[in-house]
Amino acid sequence: MSKRAPQVVPVDGLPSAVTIYEVGPRDGLQNEKTVIPVDVKAEFVRRLVDAGLRAIEVTSFVHPRWVPQLADAEQLVELVDLTAAPRMPVLVPNERGLDRALAAGLEEIAIFGSATETFAQRNLNRGRDEQYAMFEPVVTRARDAGLSVRAYLSMCFGDPWEGDVPVADVVAAGKRLLDLGCSELSLGDTLGVGTPGHVERLLASYDDVGVGVDRLAVHFHDTYGQALSNALAALRCGVTTFDASAGGLGGCPYAESATGNLATEDLVWQLHGLGIETGVDLELLLSTTSWMAEQIGKPPASRVAAALL
């Protein structure tokens, strides 16, 4: 493996440090056709910690009927040191998922909402307005128990059934999630159709209603090759939390030829080239990506991995 690193050329006005919120163990593996053994998943998390990732979403306490790839969630949490990184959350879909998270001793959870009516119905079996009634007791109970709560908002840039999604709808939906008591809102380009101007407009619209970038994260898919340019646009707007997946693991089942999440190592290469601190050791991250690719039996989608491995 090459030890090449990007030449550092800073750009004025960008954050000096960012948090990479690694979603590979949950969002990445849940979309794989192959069911990965729980000990392999635990080793994946350990390697990500060793590579310097400080926020790693470990799994989801969702019913195995819906996501069989994550049926081993309790076993995985028992095998993982939940204090190994500052943030080791799990996704919970409802109060039953929260009960499991509380029993497992988690300190942070995430919930998953929708900016559009159709996706809410298909993914949550509830309407867009009805989803908040489901989330409210989850967030309240979690906060009362001392947990922090992150909210994902999907379909922020486009919906496969409804087409373009009005920015005002995305802002209204996200603000309602934050008003429930969530500390962080991750804006998801579920289809990967967003472009930099759209990213800037959406972030500015949140600022217009009093939601600063300090409460926002971004979650880009690379379906149309826009994930890195969108990340740079968000960076220029002051965003400091970026979701990414080692090797570009994962994908969107609602978009044809979806190439998965923004690859962590591609994002790290860009950030390090800009002189922005991530805490991530690129060489160790690439080693982890290479190892995980062997476990799932296919090459990583990451361009940096393709160049250096």
| pLDDT for res 215 | 98
Residue at token pair 């050329």? 9
Q: 55-56 and 241-244: which strand pairing?
A: unpaired
CATH number at residue 37: 3.20.20.70
In a domain, 12, yes or no: no
Least Cα distance to 47 among 223, 293, 242 occurs for: 293
In a domain, 6, yes or no: no
Angle at 258 between CA 252 and CA 260, to 5 degrees: 70
In a domain, 2, yes or no: no
In a domain, 7, yes or no: no
The pairs formed by 272-275 with CB atoms below 8 angstroms and a separation of 24 or more are 272/5, 272/6, 272/8, 273/6, 273/7, 273/8, 273/9, 274/8, 274/9, 274/10, 274/11, 274/14, 274/235, 275/8, 275/9, 275/10
pLDDT digits 0-9 by tens, 106-147: 999 999 999 999 999 998 889 999 999 999 999 999 999 999
In a domain, 186, yes or no: yes
Helix (H) or strand (E) holding 241: strand 241-244
Range of the domain at 255: 19-308
CB 205 within 8 A of CB 175: no
Q: Into how many domains does the chain fold? A: 1
pLDDT digits 0-9 by tens, 182-215: 999 999 999 999 999 999 999 999 999 999 999 9
Q: Active site residue: 156, 182, 237, 252, which one?
A: 252
d(CA 218, CA 241) in angstroms, rounded, equals: 7
DSSP state of 28: I
DSSP symbols for 120-133: HHHHHSS-TTTHHH
| pLDDT for res 254 | 61
Q: How many Å from the N-terminal Cα to the C-terminal Cα in the chain?
A: 5
In a domain, 270, yes or no: yes
Backbone angles phi, psi at 110, to 5 degrees: -130, 145
State which amino acid sits at residue 7.
Q
In a domain, 4, yes or no: no
Catalytic residue status for 252:
yes
d(CA 30, CA 67) in angstroms, rounded, equals: 7
258 has a pLDDT exceeding 60 = no
In a domain, 13, yes or no: no
Quickly state the pLDDT bin for 2 (edges 50, 70, 90): low
